[in-house]
Amino acid sequence: MSVKLTFVSPGDGGGISRSCSFTGFSTVQSRKLGKSLSRSSVRSRMSLKPPKAYNSLQKGALIWDPKPLQVKKIFEALKKGLNEYLQAHQAELDYLSGRHRDTKRNSRLAFYYDLDKQIRSVERYIRKLEFHISKVEELYEAYCIQCRLRDGATNMKQAFSLSPSTKASRESLLELYRNVQECTEDMCFIEGALEVHLGEFHVKMKGLVGFARLCPGDQYEVFVRLGRQKWRLRGKIETDDSQTWEEEEKIFIPNLHEKFEIKVTELRGLATILVGVVTCDSINFFTTKPQAIVVDITELGTIKLRLEVLWKVESRPVLPHSQPWAGADGGSRQGKGLKLLL
């Protein structure tokens, strides 16, 4: 069945906006951790976005359940994706530099200066990517230190609990309990700080695929949730097998602990029939290329949902008067240059 999509803008004319409500972690009061690493030194090295854009770092959203294994998976996927971005922009810079040298010999000043602006823009963005990678590595290194400190304090607490109870042992147990709590708080804070550097997921609706299961006139509702971020849209199957949906794209802020939850229901008058509920991990989405997702909504796969996820780190500013790369004859090089989805 051929699927043609038509997206209907909401009646209020509102555009796509970033969801700011998602679970995460809040800041905690500063305390002294120990000789190896103090909390003030950990937090002073973490640059955070304004709390208005990242509610996970605000008060009241704290989750005292750090997950080192999940953080390690996200960190490895994030670092790999950032390195892909860096390599792609380095390749773009190499190509522009080669064109820059050729243009200088040909003395085409107008195109030469425009190309020089593009090179500077790419160089600035590469430096920002390198700083981004170093900040992520610094956060994860601090997280590993806190994790080892907590594990050591936990092991010592278990050892003291097995020894005869004395005043000194009880004082040591109390101090170790405080150390475990403080390390746990710092790990939660670092997880929240790391979430700030995860970028954005741009999820596009590509429609339902169901062959004989999709009939003209059927109406469906798709509900996508990531933590507290929600996206609910309705669609209808038209007589020509095309599909009309309310929205095309939604921006989600990645979360360390939450997975995508997708629920599809069929609307029949006042009744709703659940088609299926599935979950999807977001670890594989940290890549420069758009990821096409085909999700089996039903157990037998008779109805599938097609989505496209594009991960964006930070958009590179576009020069106001920049032109497409041109060849020696002045013609455009569209289609031949490196195209990056930023």
Structure confidence by residue, pLDDT tens digits, 58-96 = 434 445 688 899 999 999 999 999 999 999 989 988 888
Residues 118 and 9: their CA atoms lie apart, in Å, by 35
pLDDT of residue 111: 65
Q: Which of 273, 313, 288 is nearest to 128 (CA)?
A: 313
Whole-number Å distance between alpha carbons of 316 and 323:
16
Q: Which residues contact 136 (CB under 8 A, 6 or more apart)?
A: 75, 78, 79, 82, 194, 197
pLDDT of residue 144: 95
Helices marked H in the chain: 39-44, 68-106, 109-162, 167-195
Handedness of CA 329, 332, 336, 339 (dihedral sign): positive
Mean local confidence (pLDDT), 288-301: 88
* Side-by-side strand order, sheet with 249-252: 249-252, 200-209, 304-312, 291-296
Total residues found in the chain within this entry: 342
Looking at the DSSP assignment, which residues form a beta bridge with residue 296?
304
Phi, psi angle pair for 56, to nearest 5°: -65, -20
Render pLDDT for 214-255 as a digit per residue (tens, 0 to 9). 888 899 999 999 989 999 999 999 988 889 998 889 999 998
Read off the amino acid at residue 198. Answer: L
Output the CA torsion sign for 157, 159, 165, 167: negative
